[in-house]
Amino acid sequence: MRPSRLHPLGWVVLGFLLLSAVATAMGSDRLIGNLSWWHWLGLAALLGLCAVPEALHRFRLGLEAVTSFTGGIARWLGWAVFLFSLFNVVTRYTGRYVQRDIIIGEVMSLAWMTFAFMFLIAMNYGVREGVNPRIDFWWADFSDLRKARLDFVMHTFFFLPFVIVGGRILWNYSRISLGMKRSGTWPDGWRVWNSWEQSPDAGNLPVGPIKAMLLVGFVLFGLQVLAEIVKTGFVMMGRPELSARKGHDAPLRIE
């Protein structure tokens, strides 16, 4: 039986836990020194998973199952955007013949909101499928190990922190967009729809829910980034059978 090794992500988590402990002991006012109990619990659980490659692999499969689900929804939403837009185009030119304006402003506004929803829940799918811009004619000549090392560093130390910071900023923004006051109270209790921000376009559709979806989109995005970190770490460990890394068929693409 192959001896178990700590996943590279585990070393990152372990280092972060040690730094957090030092920052907490020193009384830092930054987040790293003021982690909540669930931060510590989540990091400890992730560290435990990193010590058992097979368990971490199953965890990664669970994250990517969510990505497959949201990617499937996004495909149907793409057709919905097309149909909404087609309706507006048709009614724009047929209204003159029936001497009546049958253009429904709500449909155009709904088309934009549907497009935004599709984009937000499909960002994680784009990360998994590798559609992010890169210089492929240069990248294609790298070995799988070199690619994995670069992706691991970039995703862990640049991509994931960006997602975490974005999530923290969007936490209050999403709640306020749903009607919460800046004091932290909800004016109508559980009837949050009574205080949703409305669109200035015709029909005044509520825009609070789609603004709140920014946070959901970032969470889904971050989960897939974590899955990518896990996959690249398996390649670095010499366990490529657990990585399921996707290749790219466009070695001369420059974006």
pLDDT tens digits for range 158-202: 999 999 999 989 998 888 888 777 777 777 666 666 667 777 665
What is the chain's Cα-based Rg?
Answer: 23
Q: Are residues 169 and 205 in the same domain?
A: yes
Tokens 């001896």, located at residue? 3
| Phi, psi torsion values for 200, nearest 5 degrees | -75, -10
Residue 226 included in any domain: yes
Q: Are residues 6 and 113 in the same domain?
A: no
pTM: 0.85
Residue 230 tokens, joined: 């896990």
**Per-residue pLDDT tens digits for 19-63:** 999 999 998 888 888 889 999 999 999 999 999 999 999 999 999
Query: Running DSSP on this structure, what letter comes out for residue 9?
Result: H
Enclosing domain of residue 218: 64-242
- CB distance 249 to 198 below 8 Å: no
**Per-residue pLDDT tens digits for 93-142:** 776 665 555 556 677 888 888 999 999 999 999 899 877 666 666 777 78
Residue 227 tokens, joined: 């899955």
Q: How high is the pLDDT of residue 100? A: 53
Q: Are residues 90 and 198 in the same domain?
A: yes
What is the C-alpha separation between 83 and 209, in angstroms, rounded?
22
Residue 217 tokens, joined: 């989109």
pLDDT bin (cut points 50, 70, 90) of residue 207 is confident
Q: Are residues 161 and 35 in the same domain?
A: no
Q: Are residues 110 and 176 in the same domain?
A: yes
Q: How many CB atoms lie within 10 A of CB 228?
A: 25
Q: Are residues 122 and 74 in the same domain?
A: yes
pLDDT of 253 higher than 70: no
Helix 37-50 vs helix 53-94: crossing angle, to nearest 10: 110
Query: Running DSSP on this structure, what letter comes out for residue 156?
Result: I
Q: Are residues 14 and 43 in the same domain?
A: yes
Residue 121 tokens, joined: 């829940």
Q: Are residues 46 and 12 in the same domain?
A: yes
